[in-house]
A and B are shown apart, each in its own frame.
Chain A
Amino acid sequence: MNLLNTVKDGMITGLRMLMPSCREALRLQSDALERSLPPARRPGLWLHLLLCKWCRYYGQQIRFLRHAAHKHPDELTQATPQRLSPEARERIRQKLRMHTE
């Protein structure tokens, strides 16, 4: 039983060294949008993404978020329901008047 556990732990450690976990793969894919990953991490991530469709989808989706936000700043701004209140409007108008007259 003990031997079995040792073998199991050894396998897990080996697997971890070779390939990042899903949790790590998410972080690495996010970091990859900010900097080039350390060369030592790249093959493992590549292998992970080859085998794991969930993490692949995750990567596609965060890259989509970047694309969506960056290409559509106007839509994002207009989606805010709040508007300048009538009081603020009047106050700003008065200020402008003060400075133009």
Chain B
Amino acid sequence: MENEGELTSIPKKREGGTQASPGLSDPESWVDLHGDYLFKYALIRLRDPAKAEDAVQETFLAALKGGKSFQGRAAEKSWLVGVLKNKIYDHYRKSSRETSFTDLEFYADEESDRFVPDGLFKDGWIHELGPLEWSSPGASLDSEVFWKTFHECSNKLPKNVAAVFNLREVDGVESREICSLMNISESNLWVMLHRARMALRRCLDANWFGKQA
């Protein structure tokens, strides 16, 4: 439908023995092998099941077109994730041109209620509400329940704030690149990241670290 080239490239690959090599698995098995993972990956970043499904489908079709050979399934998976990532970034690029990307309503300060409102110690922590030390946070990283909590907390962030946080902290994309992708200024990005960190820290503190002691 989209491109004749897609149709002709596949039989060639089959004859050429790419399928027989320990490389790319049969495209139809991709849905079972990688479908859920890619869907979850896309859903975290797009927050919309229909868009996430579309992104997965586009990823498989693009992969079919540009199929190459792999040593094992792990390599195949990370290749597909790379293709999907580009689809998601394309989506960001497109939608940031259409609507303002900044979540202004989120700019109300998350921690306001924890600061002294006026006087000598204005904007200092109200004593009993200041952050406490997290005990051995590293150990949490092995816990499935911790990641579930992390996911739930990041799901509470406004969509665009979460997108920026994922780009910066999960994918490790450079600030400047995020700004051009999302069509926002650097100072805007810094405020969004600050708010995301603040909200996520507080949520994990309340729902995980505060309950560990």
Which A residues have a C-beta under 8 Å from some C-beta of B?
A: 8, 11-12, 15, 21-24, 26-27, 30-31, 33-35, 52-55, 57-58, 60-62, 64-66, 68-73, 75-85, 88-89, 91-93, 95-100
Which B residues have a C-beta under 8 Å from some C-beta of A?
A: 1, 6-7, 10, 27-28, 30-31, 35-37, 39-41, 43-44, 49, 53, 56-57, 60-61, 64, 109, 111, 115, 120, 122-125, 130-134, 137, 140-141, 144, 147-148, 150-151, 165-166, 169-172, 175, 189-190, 193-194, 197-198, 200-201, 204-205
Once A12-B120, A23-B123, A93-B28 are accepted as A-B contacts, the answer to whether A64 and B137 lie under 8 Å apart by CB is: yes
Once A91-B57, A97-B28 are accepted as A-B contacts, the answer to whether A68 and B150 lie under 8 Å apart by CB is: yes
Q: Please, which residues of chain B bring their CB within 8 A of the CB of A27?
A: 194
Known: A61-B205, A65-B169, A79-B144; 9 extra A-B contacts, CB below 8 A, are A26-B194, A34-B175, A35-B175, A61-B137, A80-B151, A84-B53, A88-B53, A96-B27, A96-B60
- Minimal beta-carbon separation of B130 from chain A (angstroms): 3
- Minimal beta-carbon separation of B213 from chain A (angstroms): 14
B35-A89 in contact (CB<8A)? yes
B120-A8 in contact (CB<8A)? yes
Once A31-B194, A79-B150, A79-B151 are accepted as A-B contacts, the answer to whether A57 and B133 lie under 8 Å apart by CB is: yes
- Minimal beta-carbon separation of B186 from chain A (angstroms): 8
B193-A78 in contact (CB<8A)? no
Q: Please, which residues of chain B bring their CB within 8 A of the CB of A75?
A: 141, 144, 147
Q: Please, which residues of chain B bring their CB within 8 A of the CB of A33?
A: 193
A15→B121 CA distance, assembly (Å): 10
- Minimal beta-carbon separation of B65 from chain A (angstroms): 8
Once A22-B125, A92-B31, A92-B60 are accepted as A-B contacts, the answer to whether A78 and B147 lie under 8 Å apart by CB is: yes
Q: Please, which residues of chain B bring their CB within 8 A of the CB of A71?
A: 141
Q: Please, which residues of chain B bring their CB within 8 A of the CB of A92?
A: 31, 35, 53, 56-57, 60
A80-B43 in contact (CB<8A)? yes
A91→B60 CA distance, assembly (Å): 12
Q: Please, which residues of chain B bring their CB within 8 A of the CB of A70?
A: 169-170, 172
A31→B190 CA distance, assembly (Å): 6
Once A64-B134, A80-B40 are accepted as A-B contacts, the answer to whether A54 and B200 lie under 8 Å apart by CB is: no
- Minimal beta-carbon separation of B75 from chain A (angstroms): 15
Give which listed residue, B27, B43, B61, B141, contacts A68 with CB less than 8 A: B141
